[in-house]
A = this chain, B = another copy of it.
């Protein structure tokens, strides 16, 4: 796998007449104008970004667009999860319409998952669907949220409860920008990379165990890891675009992870999404072992790898107090509807052998949580 690593990779998401390319490599923001001009009929774009990303990359992007004859306006939003709201959606829609973005033009998201989700949603509803280009600037966004067409904002009732499926027309994953991420942010994205191995790519997980330091260092191994991750997500999305079945596998580690995010009140000082997923994946493997589905050795191997890269792997690793197991269980029940005392969960029979289990007894999950998190 590590023998042939080119400087740039491209992954195709196959969705019939809505198929699109993900380009992966360093320097793609500076080349964005050329790549977009080659694919877009129109010559106008609206770029949506945030206050953290704009000072670093907006000028490069705007210059590249201008050089290719593309007229661009930009809107810079506050950074952070609160931006995924109607309060920010409304000015984004206004900016797109004000820029007279029409059928052959495009909306560009330049930023992490928050900017991608919000901008994709706006693109999905302006003129009942406008062209959309993702330029993800975090590892999490490059390997997960920018691929697959899930867009949306948060509601007072919960995260991501308002949105649409709206596929991008192009994703430009500039791997150069990842050098400026904090170690903590890079690690959080890495949890999703490891997830693809744990779902159904045992040899990829093995490769990561051997090569994770090279992935963190940058260069070819990083591009390779991102490309394999994007291909894995693209394959699942192509098979089940609207999450009627198989796509649920992408939630490995997420049911426990979401409950922990809720339990820490989405306080990013305590826990960010990828960290919740890391702890959640270890819990999913341990719970599978407890249900006699997988060997405890697999859970230990998962934990050892995630711990090696510096991710939290146990509830005790999360700073501050966690609520009792019963409260965590309530959060899980809110996330996944309980039917007759049974839950749908992503469980595993071993490394790279995960599956959707729709009859997990809620009582077993509660006992397990009490064991893992005694008060």
Contact = CB atoms under 8 A, between A and B. Distances in A.
Interface in A148-162: 150, 152, 155-158, 161-162
A126 B162 contact: yes
Contact of A164 (B90, B94, B155, B164): B164
A152 B164 contact: no
Interface of A: 86, 90, 93-94, 97-98, 102, 121, 124-129, 150, 152, 155-158, 161-165, 242, 337
Nearest to A128: B163
B156 A94 contact: yes
A94 B163 CA distance: 13
Contacts of A164: 124-125, 128-129, 164
Contacts of A157: 94, 97-98
B129 A165 contact: yes
A94 B155 contact: yes
A162 B129 contact: no
A161 B94 CA distance: 10
B155 A97 contact: yes
A126 B161 contact: yes
Given A86-B90, A90-B86, A102-B337, A161 B97 contact: yes
A93 B150 CA distance: 18
Nearest to A165: B128
Contacts of A121: 125
6 contacts: A86-B86, A93-B155, A93-B162, A98-B157, A121-B125, A126-B161
Nearest to A121: B125
Contact of A125 (B90, B93, B125, B242): B125
